[in-house]
Structure 1
Amino acid sequence: MTDPNAKTPPPRSGRLKLVLIMLVFLAPILAAGLLTLSGWQPEGKGNGQPIMPQRSLANVRVDVDGKPWAWRDSEPRLTLVVLPGPDCGARCIQTLALMRNARIVLNRNADRLRLLYIGAAPTGADADPVMRDYATGTDPSDAFAPFRPAAPDSVAAVLVESNATALAWYPAGFDPNGLRKDLQKVIR
């Protein structure tokens, strides 16, 4: 039984609550729209330098063991193209080992990253265990020349998406920990 003396809330307060709830959900959408229209875009904090304009490497021929490298693999996998400077020595090999370790840290996703070394493979006892994880190839058209370091005993890298789009460039002297963090963000 209802109490005849009980006050019922006016219908207007229910509408007001509904409008306030709608505003709570619409406010972020409106704010994002205004920021986009004003030209502001969030920037990622990647450690590599973005390659602008982005370019496709689908037509770039890289030979590995006499066969062309398949940029678009049977399953979606990124490629880390490693470009040594002249005379890859101890510091270069150490950086190659850290890059290989960045791939290993991906654990179960390590297979989603291929390591491609373009150039004359380093020799020596220190280089052999490191180079086992790399496919070694040549770039007959010299398409990676703008990214290759000129300093001796140095390494640069280019991260290539599974659709053959070059994403980021890591110039000589880059931080391998930064590369590892970027790989963990991109490969999940």
Structure 2
Amino acid sequence: MSEPQAQPARSGRLKLVLIMLVFLAPIVAAGLLTVTGWQPTGKGNGQPILPQRSFEGVRVDVGGKPWAWRDSEPRLTLVVLPGPACAAGCVKTLALVRNARIVLNRNADRLRLLYSGPAPTGTDAQAVMADYAIGTDTTDAFAPFRPATPDAVAVVLVESNATALAWYPAGFDPNGLRKDLQKVIR
């Protein structure tokens, strides 16, 4: 009579081991992938800034006051850097960047637009610039990212902790920027 009881106990242990393996397998697989150095290839449209750098110590004056990289609530900053002589092409790109923020809908408040450079010229410049905080980079810390091409715009996406995430050089695709923003800001 003791044999029939041994079979259900063995069957129960086997089920328990199988359940543990189901939950343990992904952890083991992730560990193996990490040890081998594999990284996912989820590619954004911007170029990663390597090595990563923090702009917390960079002073950008906006209306005579320093820009607060760490805001009262976590918000990203899109630093827009014009090249020399920001005119019609530059203003068009500024409008597309502003529209990329608007497309975020209810999450639009989680992204701040900071324009750092001389004021743009052009017919629509004043209307477009209403959505931007206009600042001056007193230490010229953004010089490596600023385009040298006239009438061009580059963008740097900065995390709420002042760490630069990505750089979009002159000639970037505003739709690619919009897609990246939708991934980052949810």
Residue 55 of structure 2 corresponds to residue 63 of structure 1 = no
Separation in 2, partners of 1:136, 1:153 = 17
Report the Cα distance in structure 2 between the residues aligned to 1:112 and 1:56, rounded to whole angstroms.
19
Are 2:181 and 1:183 aligned? yes
Distance 1:54 1:45 in 2: 17
Q: Could you tell me how far apart the structure 2 residues matched to 1:124 and 1:15 are?
A: 76
Unmatched runs of 5 consecutive residues or more in structure 1: 1-6
Which of 1, 19, 43 does residue 45 from structure 1 map onto? 43
User: Which residue of the partner structure matches residue 103 of structure 2?
Assistant: 105
**1:25 is matched with which residue?**
23
Quick one: distance in 2 between partners of 1:124 and 1:27?
A: 60
Report the counterpart of residue 12 of structure 1 in structure 2: 10
1:33 maps to amino acid: G
Counterpart of 2:112 in structure 1 is 114
Relative to the length of structure 2, the TM-score reads: 0.93
Q: What percentage of residue pairs aligned between the two structures are identical?
A: 82
- Structure 2 residue matching 1:103: 3-state secondary structure: helix
Query: 1-side partners of 2:155 and 2:106: how far apart?
Result: 23
* Alpha-carbon distance, 1:13 to partner: 2.2
87-96 or 35-44: bigger deviation: 35-44
Any conservation in 1 of the 2:87–2:122 contact (CA below 8 Å)? no
Compute the RMSD of aligned alpha carbons. Answer: 1.6
Runs of 4+ in 1 over 4 A off after TM superposition: none
Partner of residue 83, structure 1 = 81
| Structure 2: stretches of 5+ with no match in the other structure | none
Distance across 2 between alignment mates of 1:125 and 1:152: 17
- Count of residues in correspondence between the two structures: 183
Larger radius of gyration: 1
Displacement of 1:66 in angstroms is 1.5
Question: Is the CA contact (8 Å cut-off) linking 2:94 and 2:128 kept in structure 1?
Answer: yes
User: Distance between the aligned counterparts of 1:137 and 1:117, measured in 2?
Assistant: 6
TM-score, scaled to structure 1? 0.92
| 2:86–2:152 Cα contact (<8 Å) kept | yes
Q: Compute the displacement of 1:27 (Å).
A: 0.7
Paired amino acid for 1:23: L
Cα deviation, residue 94, structure 1: 0.9
Displacement of 1:8: 6.9
